[in-house]
């Protein structure tokens, strides 16, 4: 092969779109929440019902600065929508300045059972039910702007020491330590909010 022929073939290869893509295209950045295991065979119907927020692990600066002001929080989960994996309707109740507030949100189902998308009016939040036995505890992970938060829920106000230990082990595995883990009060819960203290995010959305 002569020098002219070699240069011609080299130019063709460099001009090829597929060759250029292989050379210049960067692989997509890994999504942190994709590394978290999801509860096998997740059943939204068993997950439905009332849960109490027991603990949270987060790098949120506001939470760190105001952890002494945490209020008792509980959520009621209902199955919504008609898609096979089912979306969830979440009603969160907590007191603020002595007044009971209720926040309603949709967790939109994805193609993966146990994984949801909270759209809301701000940045979307990925939600993964990491593990649960449905009857006593659930560990749920949230990702917003590629930052992970983990929450421990219990069917009762208090969970066993074994469940707390399991939660702490799970959050260490995703990069948290005890200084970033906070526990909520076991008293002062509220369930009913008047019409002036309901924040209904669902009215901005439609569940399929």
Beta carbons of 147 and 59 less than 8 angstroms apart: yes
Sign of the C-alpha dihedral, residues 142, 200, 55, 42?
negative
Count CB-CB contacts under 10 A for residue 70: 16
Output the CA angle 164-131-119, nearest 5 degrees.
110
Only one residue has tokens 């989960």, namely 77
Q: Which of 29, 43, 52 is nearest to 158 (CA)?
A: 52
Helix (H/G/I), strand (E/B), else coil: 93: strand
pLDDT at 133: 97
For residue 203, with 0-12 CB atoms within 10 Å meaning exposed, 13-18 middle and 19 or more buried, which class applies?
exposed
Q: Which of the listed CATH numbers 2.60.120.1600, 2.40.128.20, 3.40.50.720, 3.40.50.10360 matches domain 35-204? A: 2.40.128.20
Q: What is the pLDDT of residues 1-54, one digit of tens each?
A: 554 444 333 333 333 344 344 555 665 667 889 999 999 999 999 999 999 999
- pLDDT band, very low/low/confident/very high, at 91 (cuts 50, 70, 90): very high
What predicted TM-score, i.e. pTM, was given to this entire model?
A: 0.82
């Amino acid at each position: 092969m002569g020098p002219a022929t070699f240069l011609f073939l080299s130019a063709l290869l460099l001009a090829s779109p597929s060759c250029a893509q292989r050379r210049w295209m960067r692989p997509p950045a890994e999504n942190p929440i994709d590394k978290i295991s999801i509860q096998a065979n997740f059943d939204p119907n068993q997950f439905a019902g009332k849960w109490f927020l027991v603990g949270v692990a987060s790098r949120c600066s506001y939470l760190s600065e105001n952890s002494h002001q945490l209020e008792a929080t509980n959520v009621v989960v209902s199955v919504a929508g008609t898609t096979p994996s089912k979306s969830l309707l979440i009603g969160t109740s907590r007191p603020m300045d002595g007044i009971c507030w209720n926040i309603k949100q949709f967790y939109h189902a994805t193609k993966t059972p146990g994984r949801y998308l909270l759209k809301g009016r701000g940045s979307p939040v990925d939600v993964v039910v990491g593990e649960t036995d449905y009857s006593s505890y659930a560990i749920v992970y949230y990702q917003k702007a590629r930052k992970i938060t983990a929450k421990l829920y219990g069917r009762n106000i208090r969970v066993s020491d074994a469940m707390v230990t399991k939660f702490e082990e799970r959050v260490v595995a995703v990069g948290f330590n005890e200084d970033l883990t906070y526990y909520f009060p076991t008293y002062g819960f509220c369930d009913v909010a008047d019409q002036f203290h309901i924040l209904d995010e669902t009215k901005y959305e439609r569940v399929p």
